[in-house]
């Protein structure tokens, strides 16, 4: 991928650009203050997402996954408020719907 992107950058003829090589050892330390997202994408279709809009697993109805992993990408802003709002919605769904009638909420 680096080679492809380097080729694209050269074709754009910028005044300068830099390619940084990664070492063989990956370290999470530089990313501890970033907001990594993805992995358990939320959506309305089980074919394209892992959890439904209540953050409930499509495959295992008693599994709820709350966190920034529910976002397909980082919007460029701190996701904490949105994660909190979705956690509140998930808790409400569990308490007021799921516990009374266990099964899919969506």
Catalogue the active-site residues: 35
What are 72's two structure tokens?
């397909």
Look at the block and give the residue holding tokens 């909190």: 84
Buried (b) or exposed (e) across 28-51, using 16+ Cβ within 10 A?
Answer: eeeeeeeeebeebbbbeeeeebbb
CA 44, distance to chain mean position in Å, is: 15
What are 61's two structure tokens?
């109805």
Identify the sign of the CA torsion 49, 91, 105, 58: positive
């Amino acid at each position: 991928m680096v080679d492809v992107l380097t080729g694209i950058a050269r074709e754009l003829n910028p005044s300068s650009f830099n390619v940084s090589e990664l070492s063989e050892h990956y370290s999470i330390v530089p990313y501890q203050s970033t907001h990594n997202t993805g992995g358990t994408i939320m959506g309305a279709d089980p074919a394209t997402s892992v959890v439904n809009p209540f953050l409930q697993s499509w495959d295992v109805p008693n599994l709820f996954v709350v966190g920034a992993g529910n976002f397909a990408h980082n919007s460029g802003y701190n996701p904490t408020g949105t994660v909190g709002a979705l956690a509140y919605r998930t808790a409400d769904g569990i308490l007021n719907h799921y516990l009374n009638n266990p099964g899919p909420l969506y």
